[in-house]
Structure 1
Amino acid sequence: MSTPDERKAAAVPGVGAVSTVVSARRESLYFALRNRKLVGGLAVVLLFLGTGLIAPLFTAANPLDYVGPRGEGPSADYWFGTTIFGQDVFNQFVHGLRGTFFVGFFAGLLAGVIGMLIGFVAGYRGGMLDEILNMFTNIVLALPVLAVLLIIAAYLEVRDIQVQALIIGLFSWPWVARAVRAQTMSLRSRDFVDLARLSGAPVRRIILREIAPNMASYLFMVFILLFGGSVLFAATLDFIGLGPTEGISLGLMLRNAVTWTALQLGMWWWFVPPGLGITAIVGALYIMNVGLDEVFNPRLRET
């Protein structure tokens, strides 16, 4: 039997629905705090993010300065040792974390916005507009990204991290558009969407207030995947020489270490920190995504 408070809430229009939403959010938060994958992955990401934001405030402004002896191993003065040119590896690492997180966040956000915009419009509108947007998505999906990046690298003599994030974001959205389009097509025929349409609500309001909130958990997981994919994509571009010509990132540290034969010289402190950093960040993000899937899917929740 229902309690008096529940009967009062049901008797007032809209109150019962709001109460249900609040209860669902509290339930999700409860299981999120209990999910070890989500909490552990988030802790690792926050640890590296905090290091990238705070540590550079206490180190030299330019991580590429020659500040110490050449090729020295880790010590009390140089925690991660120095490069073959006498650059502080720890200083490069903490500044590189900033660049890596910037690329991941900005590129993931840009790709998410483009993919969601196209997916929502195509899935809700349908018809000829859907075919045109779907064709455009397939064209971008079929583009040889490396060939395009080679052309861009040939014409842009000076490239920075901002340009790299922009390029990655512009080429990472097609799969998001397809996924959001499919979800939107399944939701546009629901009763609450039909009710909003009959009430005269404009398309923008229907998408933002009726469809998108019902996909909020899925969209959040999509952003995490885009974030991790952008970090990995940026590191790959840096390693093969298509990354920025200015600034520093974990991928550029790896490339410089390989270029100047750090492995052959036994200078493990030059390439191990950035390699472990990239692996830990990307791995933690994907573990977070698995944890979120367990939180939002009742059948997968840990009891």
Structure 2
Amino acid sequence: MTSFSAADAAIQPKVEPRPRRKGAGMALWRAIRGNGKAFAGAVLLLIFLIAAILPNLFTPVKNPNARAFALSLPPSGAHLLGTTSYGQDIWAQLVWGTRQTLVVAVIAGALASVLSVLIGVAAAYLGGLADDLLSLLIDVFLVIPAFPLIIVIAAYANGGNLAVIVGVLVITGWSYGARQLRAQALSLRRRDFLESARVRGEGWFYIVNFEILPTMISLIAANFLGAALYAVLTAAGLQFIGLGSPSSVSWGTMLHWAQSAEALQTGQSWWVVAPGLCIALLGAAFALLNYAFDEISNPALRPVRRQRRNRGGN
């Protein structure tokens, strides 16, 4: 019996263990702390989050749309960025506008990422005709000119409604992430740890949620950041051309009203520069954070850095 057991064990195939993410939170923190660009992005995003959640910490003005001040005042101690042609505090509008901008970015980015995961992973896992049809759907949305389509949909669907803007951003922003996730899932479909799960009799729900998706967390997070950046820029563009709600306060609507009042021509440059700069900084924060997720998803980047440091020390 002993010799039979040894021989039987010798012929058993070696099953590749499923990749595990140990201490994902600590790994993310180490990656952000060890990467100057990623750390700068995290700090910028944290500042915007605090301003969105607690705007009263940055300005005493409760109603940024209130026309309670003198018109077209220059920057001063009372009004850090001056006032608009309508008597509104520009700094207060900038701070309060952070909330709507981040809400659009987070909700649209999250929903687009969920749609990307559902379609991209389903196409790779199902294969065959389902893969062909879903891949065709992805390709169609990839080649459609996005911004003209967004303008048409928002204009005919009451674009001033924030829910409509978010829905349009989700519909037009999921395809690129789905293509990436499909390619990654295809590379995992025939891995040994998935074959062993099928042999054990695990269903598709378990395999997808507990075997495939945990190995793709960093890629999903990177896709979310990309979708959020797309949402920020596109929503600001829609609001700038007048497809946002005129009564809402966001950086895009600030640019719209500044352009309508010819702010640059009348010496009110901060009315234009401030929201434009915040849009750029928020976009930079999302882009810089991708460095941390690249480091987690591509471990080869870390040894290269260590080697460079060691060479510099020698």
Identify the TM-score tier after normalising by the shorter chain: 0.7 to 0.9
Are the aligned partners of 1:108 and 1:169 in contact in 2 as well (CA < 8 Å)? yes
Unaligned runs of 5+ in 1: 1-16
Residue 54 of structure 2 corresponds to: 54
The Cα of 1:147 is off from its aligned counterpart by: 3.9
The Cα of 1:165 is off from its aligned counterpart by: 1.6
1:233–1:199 CA distance, 2 compared to 1 (3 A)? same
Residue 9 of structure 2 corresponds to: none
The Cα of 1:290 is off from its aligned counterpart by: 2.1
Are the aligned partners of 1:106 and 1:166 in contact in 2 as well (CA < 8 Å)? no
Note the aligned Cα RMSD (angstroms).
2.3
Map 1:272-283 to 2 at 5 A.
Answer: 272-283=273-284
Residue 169 of structure 1 corresponds to: 170
The Cα of 1:134 is off from its aligned counterpart by: 1.4
1:31–1:146 CA distance, 2 compared to 1 (3 A)? closer
Give me the whole-angstrom Cα distance separating, in 2, the residues matched to 1:75 and 1:103.
31
Q: Which amino acid aligns with 2:121?
A: F
Greater displacement, 40-49 / 59-68? 59-68
Q: Which amino acid aligns with 1:134?
A: S
Give me the whole-angstrom Cα distance separating, in 2, the residues matched to 1:296 and 1:184.
14
1:270–1:43 CA distance, 2 compared to 1 (3 A)? same
Q: Which amino acid aligns with 2:252?
A: G
Overall identity of the aligned pairs, in %: 35
Residue 121 of structure 2 corresponds to: 120
SS in structure 2 of the partner of residue 287 of structure 1: helix
Give me the whole-angstrom Cα distance separating, in 2, the residues matched to 1:50 and 1:25.
21
The Cα of 1:160 is off from its aligned counterpart by: 2.7
Are the aligned partners of 1:28 and 1:296 in contact in 2 as well (CA < 8 Å)? no
Q: Which amino acid aligns with 2:89?
A: D
Greater displacement, 235-244 / 217-226? 235-244
SS in structure 2 of the partner of residue 149 of structure 1: helix
Give me the whole-angstrom Cα distance separating, in 2, the residues matched to 1:84 and 1:22.
56
1:37–1:161 CA distance, 2 compared to 1 (3 A)? same
Are the aligned partners of 1:44 and 1:284 in contact in 2 as well (CA < 8 Å)? yes
SS in structure 2 of the partner of residue 265 of structure 1: coil
Query: Is residue 300 of structure 2 the alignment partner of residue 262 of structure 1?
Result: no
Give me the whole-angstrom Cα distance separating, in 2, the residues matched to 1:66 and 1:49.
26
Give me the whole-angstrom Cα distance separating, in 2, the residues matched to 1:68 and 1:45.
31
Residue 76 of structure 1 corresponds to: 77
Are the aligned partners of 1:41 and 1:285 in contact in 2 as well (CA < 8 Å)? yes
Residue 34 of structure 1 corresponds to: 34
Give me the whole-angstrom Cα distance separating, in 2, the residues matched to 1:29 and 1:185.
29
TM-score scaled by structure 1? Answer: 0.87
Residue 86 of structure 2 corresponds to: 85
**Rg bigger for which structure?**
2
Are the aligned partners of 1:66 and 1:86 in contact in 2 as well (CA < 8 Å)? yes
The Cα of 1:227 is off from its aligned counterpart by: 1.2
Count of paired positions: 287
Q: Which amino acid aligns with 1:193?
A: L
Residue 225 of structure 2 corresponds to: 224
Are the aligned partners of 1:161 and 1:246 in contact in 2 as well (CA < 8 Å)? no
